Amino acid sequence: MNQSIEKVLSSGFSLWVLLAAAMCGYLYQYGHKNIRFGIDLVGGTYITLEVQEDDVVKNYLNDKVRDFESLIKVSKIEMDGSPVIADNALQFKFHSATTAQEVESMLRSEDRKLRYTTDGSTVKVTIPGTESSRLLGEAVEGNIDILRSRFESLSEIHISKQGDKQIVVELPDVKDPREAKTMIGKSAVLDFKLVEDTAGSKEALLNKYDHEIPEGTVVVPGHRRGRNDDDSTYYLLPTYTPVSGNYLKHAKVDFGGELKRDVVVAFEFDKEGGKRFHELTSENVGKRLAIVLDGEVISAPTINQAIGSSGQIQGNFTTEEARTLSKLLKSGSFKAKVAFIEERQIGPTLGQESINQGLLSCLIGLALLLLFGVFYYRLSGIFSFVTLVYNLILLMMLMAIMRATLTLPGIAGMVLTIGMAIDSSILIYERIKEALKDGMGISAAIEDGFSDAMWVIIDSNITTFIVAAVLYYFGTGPIQGFAVTMMLGIITTLITGLFFLKSLFKFYIKTTHIQKLSI
C-alpha cells in the first residue's frame, strides 16, 4: 500500500492530480463569479443604433470652416456674410463671381479630397461619396470607442459594428437597462456659440423675423428641466460652431456661482481648444455665449473678459446630473449623432432553457463517447473519457481566468471541443495498435503512438484555430463567444490529448506492470 502511494507521489501524474484539485477548488470558489453569461443565456436587451450620415458630413464641414476662413482672411478677401452649412454643403458668399472663382481655386489647392463648385458669387464645398463613406466608417468606429469608454465599468455590455453605419449594443442581465439606454442616447455634443437673439417662446422668436430666420442660423431651446415650454427661453444661434467639446481635455464636478455653492461642471480644453476659446471670448466681450449640449442651451452667460483654456458649465444641476454630464464629457462626444432603430428584449426564462439544453447536450455527448470508447478501446476508452472530463475542467478554468462570456454558441463550441478531443485520442490509439502489431513493447508502442500522431494532431488543430481566430476578429456577439470557446478548446485539447493522456498511460503501466494493453 505504501509502495503504491509512493509510486503515485513520485510519478509525473501526481502533478496533474494536484492541478485538477486546484482547478476544481478555483471553479467552486470563483467560477460562478468570473464566468459571465451572454445575453442569449441570461436574457437582456438588444439595442441597434444607426449613425446619422448627414451629421457626419455636417461635423466634418464644420471643422473645415475655420481652416478655410483663415485662408480667405490671409488672402485679404472679404466675404459677404458668414459661412453657411446647409444641404450637406459649406457655402461661402462673396461680392463678385470673379472673387468666388478665385477662392474656389485657392480652396481646391488646399484640400483636393473635397468637391468645389461655383454658383455666381457663391462657392459650395461638398464631400464626394468615397470620402463620405470613409468618414462614416471612422464615425462608427469612434462612436463604438466612446460607448465602450462610457460603459467600461459594466464589462457585461457588448458593443459591435453591424453593416456600414449600425452599432449593436447588448445589455445582458443589466440591473438598470433604462440608465444604460439613457447613457447610450446621450450624444454629449457640446458646442459654444454666440447668441444672436432670444425670446420667451419659439413662436415669439420666429415672429421677429416673419418666420424666416437669417440664413446660417438655427433656433435652439433652452434646457427646461421639466418646465413648460411657455417658461423656457429660445435662442437664435449660428449653425457654425467655433468651439466644440471635441477639444475638451478634462471635465469634473465642482462648485461655482457667487457663493461657490452651486453644483457645476468644470472643464478644461486642450491646447488647440484653449486657443480657439480665447479667440472667441476675447473678440466678443459683452456678448452672450451659449453653451449647447445635445441641442439644448444649458446656460448663456455674458462674456465679461477673455477666457483661457478652462471654464464652468452652470445649469442648476443636481449632483447626480453633474456627475453624469462630466462622465459623458470625459468619455467624449459622439463623432456623429445616433438614432435608436431597434430594441429587442430576451427573457431570462428562454436563456435558462438554453443553458439546460446546452448542458444536457454536453452530458449526452460525454455519455455516448464513453460508450463508444469502452466498446472499441476497452480500458483505453475509459482513459479517453477521463481525458475529456479533464479537458472540460481545464477549459472552464481558462474561461474563468479570462473572465470570458459564455454564450449559447459557446456551449456548442464546448460540444465541438469534445468531438475534437476524441479525434485526437483515436489517432493516438490507432498508431499504438499498429506499433503493437509490429511487435513493439507496451511502453515503446505508447511512446511511438504519441510521437507519430503528435504532428498530425497539431497540424489539424492549428488550421482550426486559425479559422476560429478569423471568426472572432470579424464576428460579433454570440459568434465571438463560439470562437473564444473553440480557441480555448483547441489549446486544452492539445494539452490534455498530448500530455495528460500520455502521463495517464505511463502511470498506469508503472503501477500495474501489465503484460497486455487493453486497447
Q: Are 16 and 503 in contact (CB under 8 A)?
A: yes
Q: pLDDT tens digits for the chain (519 residues)?
A: 455 555 555 557 888 989 999 999 998 888 777 787 777 777 777 888 999 888 888 888 887 887 888 888 888 888 888 788 888 888 999 989 999 999 999 998 888 889 999 989 999 999 998 899 999 998 898 888 888 877 765 556 778 888 889 998 887 766 566 766 766 766 667 788 999 999 988 888 888 888 888 877 889 998 765 444 445 789 999 887 878 877 877 778 888 766 677 788 888 888 888 888 888 888 888 899 888 887 888 888 888 888 877 777 776 777 877 777 777 776 666 778 888 888 877 766 556 676 777 778 778 877 887 888 888 888 888 998 899 889 989 999 998 888 887 777 888 888 888 778 888 888 899 999 898 888 888 889 898 889 888 888 898 889 889 999 998 888 766 788 888 889 999 999 999 988 999 999 988 888 887 888 888
> What is the pLDDT, as a whole number, of residue 99?
92
Domain ranges (residues) in the chain: 2-43+348-512, 53-130, 186-343
Q: What is the DSSP letter of 29?
A: I
Task: Name the grid cell of 298.
Answer: 444649458
Q: Are 283 and 262 in contact (CB under 8 A)?
A: no
Reference 50, options 342, 287, 302; nearest CA is: 342
Three-state secondary structure call for residue 118:
strand
Task: Name the grid cell of 198.
Answer: 432670444
Give the class (CATH, top level) of 2-43+348-512. Answer: mainly alpha
Give the separation between CA 105 and CA 121, rounded to whole angstroms. 14
Give the separation between CA 495 and CA 512, rounded to whole angstroms. 25
Give the DSSP per-residue string, 53-109.
HHHHHHHHHHHHHHHHHHHHHHTT--BSS--EEETTEEEEEBS-HHHHHHHHHHHHH
> What is the pLDDT, as a whole number, of residue 322?
78
Give the class (CATH, top level) of 53-130. Answer: alpha beta
Three-state secondary structure call for residue 506:
helix
Q: Which fold has domain 186-343?
A: Gyrase A; domain 2 (3.30.1360)
Give the separation between CA 7 and CA 287, rounded to whole angstroms. 90
Give the separation between CA 365 and CA 257, rounded to whole angstroms. 69
* C-alpha neighbours within 13 Å on the C-beta side of residue 4: 5
> What is the pLDDT, as a whole number, of residue 110?
86
Q: Which residue has the cell 453569461?
A: 37
pTM of the model: 0.61
> What is the pLDDT, as a whole number, of residue 1?
47
> What is the pLDDT, as a whole number, of residue 229?
47
Reference 64, options 28, 90, 39, 35; nearest CA is: 90
